[in-house]
Structure 1
Amino acid sequence: MPTPLIIDTDPGVDDAFAIALAALSEDVELLGVTTVFGNVPLEATTLNARRVLALCGRADVPVAAGAARPLVHAQLQRASHVHGSDGLSGRSAALPEPARALEPGGAVSLLVSLLEAAAEPVTIAPIGPLTNIALLLAAHPEVREKIARIVVMGGGLAGGNTTGAAEFNIWSDPEAARRVLVEEPVPCVLVPMDLTYRCAVDSTWLGKLAASGPIGTALEALTPDYLAHYRKALGWDGIVLHDAVAVAEAIRPGILKTESYPIEVECSLGPARGATLVDRRRQALRADAEGDVAPGRVEVAVDTDLEGLRGFILERLTQA
């Protein structure tokens, strides 16, 4: 049976690859896409998501726009220096125009309607700030039982990429991230940048994508600004497909190796704001410290077959 999936996203180059990965996978029932502020403002992320779906020939997939800002404090920094001024290396307009009108009710309304109508529990893959998902769970706790799991791209175990402590998606709305990852009794998988960086793809991989056909050519054409950034971050010609790694796990559970840990999200206004604090001490030590109150636990992705993962994503993106 196909995996019923909803993607919540802020495209973003790696988001575009992640949307295409799900949209082109025959073993996925892509129920809908919701958008959120993040890499660029909400208007741009929403248009980008709709254009990527049009590229993939998926006019059947509804799209709704969600939160334009964080729950509490303003977002101080976008990621246009990574993804380009429009989120897609300045090349969003080169994609096909959207083939379907935007859903009128907004992201939370679409999420609720899709979950309520689903015949089986649905996987949600939030690959941007977690604002929409926090709002959903706060306002509609009755839908929790319709969620199979939430596969989040975010966080860093050893540090961040936006600050020394925080990864961009979590840093953009720490209060929302804490609500989803710490407070809610919904199964979560966290795919941190520690692992996604290890899954980076090189220029040869991108060349194979570009040579595969019109969709692959169009996706590869979105990468110049992103490639320029990661040339500095990695020290070689390649890009990090953060969000596609998380969506790969959403599509094929177990493609990433996970370990269960208690987690906390730093919501202070100090230099550690947005940090994900994963308690990796031995269980015996944690038990002594926790006493009678055990914190919530999250499945944290820690490893994968790197070549197998890269091959899986490339195969799905080129099969069209």
Structure 2
Amino acid sequence: MGTKLIIDTDPGVDDAFAIALAARSEDVDLLGVTTVFGNVPLATTTSNARRLLQLCDRPDVPVAAGAARPLVYRELHRASTVHGSDGLSGRGGSLPEATRPLEDSDAVSLMVSLLEAADEPVTIAPIGPLTNIAALLAAHPGVRSKIARIVLMGGAIVRGNATAVAEFNIWADPDAARRVIVEDDVPCVMVPLDLTHRCAVDGEWLAKLAASGPVGQALNGFTPDYLAHYRQVLGYEGIVMHDAVAVAEAIRPGLLRTETHPVNVDSTPGPTRGMTIVDQRAVPKAPTGRLVEVAVDTELDGLREFVLSRLAGGR
């Protein structure tokens, strides 16, 4: 059927775009969706994920709830000022109620069962804090061979958004991020802010999305608070669809151009906590982290068209 995919998410406006992108792509076998705290609390991210799948007419996809807090330290703040009080600009209630019950098992247990049952390696796309993925790799090392690669949205090369140097998903649980990105050996692609910001879409793109049908109209309807934030960041009417960029690469490997660099994650207390250190030196003098594929470029208009066509139902 195509790419076998598990999405781990904290919806979130950009998460909503990413979930719909996978759910509406015929070349994706969306095995399951797991939820994590992040943009809003776990109960809300879980409800949003289930209802988004219902919007996309995908009640066949199981959803399981995962971590409600980081591995070690409680998070300091959420992203509700960016995504709105419910993660979807206060409009999550407009989504249809989910017909499929929430799985009785937790997120890690669902991932283990899906990985063990898969007849080929599975791509995991974590687009929220990495708490669930760290727990999976720590508690179930035997499933590593069933993971094709981890394509995560997170990190930054130059500057952050949660702090001056840290991107939100990594900053929300740096200990988990370090466990996944630095200390494990599962192939990993990091899609950082530096690239996702360049993939921003403007008002004309959003208008095309809204005119594409009920799903596109609903997705566009979640953007008012997000637009208000990115109007200040970008200087024009548009949004950054961070997580959809990572899921696009998960669906179509090679859509993003990557470079392999040593990457480290600062999990120490202090002003650089959550920083991803990407060593771009031609000849590093000493090991500074694990070698990770870092997405650095893409054909921007092609990426935007790929996402729009899928969200609009052109699979």
TM above 0.5: yes
Distance in 2, matches of 1:34 and 1:172, equals: 17
Matching residue's letter, 2:158: A
Q: Match for residue 136 of structure 2?
A: 136
Matched, 1:87 2:87: yes
Moved over 6 A (4+): none
Q: Match for residue 289 of structure 1?
A: 286
Matching residue's letter, 1:296: R
1:175-196 deviations in Å (ceiling 9; x for gaps): 0000000000100000000000
**2:312 equivalent among 304, 309, 318:** 318
In the alignment, structure 2 segments of 5+ residues that lack a partner are none
Matched, 1:223 2:223: yes
Distance in 2, matches of 1:74 and 1:118, equals: 34
SS in 1 for 2:148: strand
Matched, 1:309 2:303: yes
Q: Match for residue 269 of structure 1?
A: 269
Matching residue's letter, 1:190: M
1:187-218 deviations in Å (ceiling 9; x for gaps): 00000000000000000000000001111111
- Please state how far the C-alpha of 1:314 moved relative to its aligned partner: 0.1
Q: Match for residue 14 of structure 2?
A: 14
Distance in 2, matches of 1:22 and 1:52, equals: 11
Deviates more, 1:295-304 or 1:85-94: 295-304
Distance in 2, matches of 1:31 and 1:86, equals: 26
Distance in 2, matches of 1:319 and 1:21, equals: 9
Distance in 2, matches of 1:89 and 1:253, equals: 31
Distance in 1, matches of 2:49 and 2:89, equals: 14
- Please state how far the C-alpha of 1:295 moved relative to its aligned partner: 4.3
Distance in 2, matches of 1:148 and 1:316, equals: 23
Q: Match for residue 110 of structure 1?
A: 110
Distance in 1, matches of 2:13 and 2:198, equals: 18
- Please state how far the C-alpha of 1:68 moved relative to its aligned partner: 0.0
Matching residue's letter, 2:264: E
- Please state how far the C-alpha of 1:237 moved relative to its aligned partner: 0.3
In the alignment, structure 1 segments of 5+ residues that lack a partner are none
- Please state how far the C-alpha of 1:289 moved relative to its aligned partner: 2.5
Q: Match for residue 209 of structure 1?
A: 209
Q: Match for residue 189 of structure 1?
A: 189
TM normalised by structure 2 equals: 0.99
Deviates more, 1:73-82 or 1:294-303: 294-303
Distance in 2, matches of 1:278 and 1:231, equals: 28
Distance in 1, matches of 2:110 and 2:295, equals: 28
TM normalised by structure 1 equals: 0.97
Distance in 1, matches of 2:280 and 2:63, equals: 38
Query: In percent, how many aligned pairs have the same letter?
Result: 71
Distance in 2, matches of 1:234 and 1:125, equals: 26
Distance in 1, matches of 2:213 and 2:275, equals: 40
1:283-315 deviations in Å (ceiling 9; x for gaps): xx31x424xxx8421100000000000000000
SS in 2 for 1:281: coil
Distance in 1, matches of 2:227 and 2:47, equals: 22
SS in 2 for 1:186: coil
Distance in 2, matches of 1:181 and 1:296, equals: 7
Matching residue's letter, 2:294: V
Distance in 1, matches of 2:175 and 2:305, equals: 36
Distance in 2, matches of 1:58 and 1:99, equals: 10
Matching residue's letter, 1:305: E
The number of equivalent residue pairs is: 314
Distance in 2, matches of 1:40 and 1:296, equals: 30
Distance in 1, matches of 2:85 and 2:259, equals: 37
Matching residue's letter, 2:301: E
Matching residue's letter, 1:206: L
Q: Match for residue 151 of structure 1?
A: 151
Matched, 1:97 2:94: no
Q: Match for residue 244 of structure 1?
A: 244
Q: Match for residue 167 of structure 1?
A: 167
Q: Match for residue 78 of structure 2?
A: 78
Distance in 2, matches of 1:195 and 1:176, equals: 23
- Please state how far the C-alpha of 1:319 moved relative to its aligned partner: 1.7
Q: Match for residue 300 of structure 1?
A: 294
Pairwise mapping of residues 39-50 of structure 1 onto structure 2 (< 5 A)? Answer: 39-50=39-50
Distance in 1, matches of 2:73 and 2:2, equals: 39
Distance in 2, matches of 1:228 and 1:44, equals: 22
Matching residue's letter, 1:43: A
Structure 1 pair 295/87, CA: closer, same or farther in 2 (3 Å)?
closer
Matching residue's letter, 1:76: L
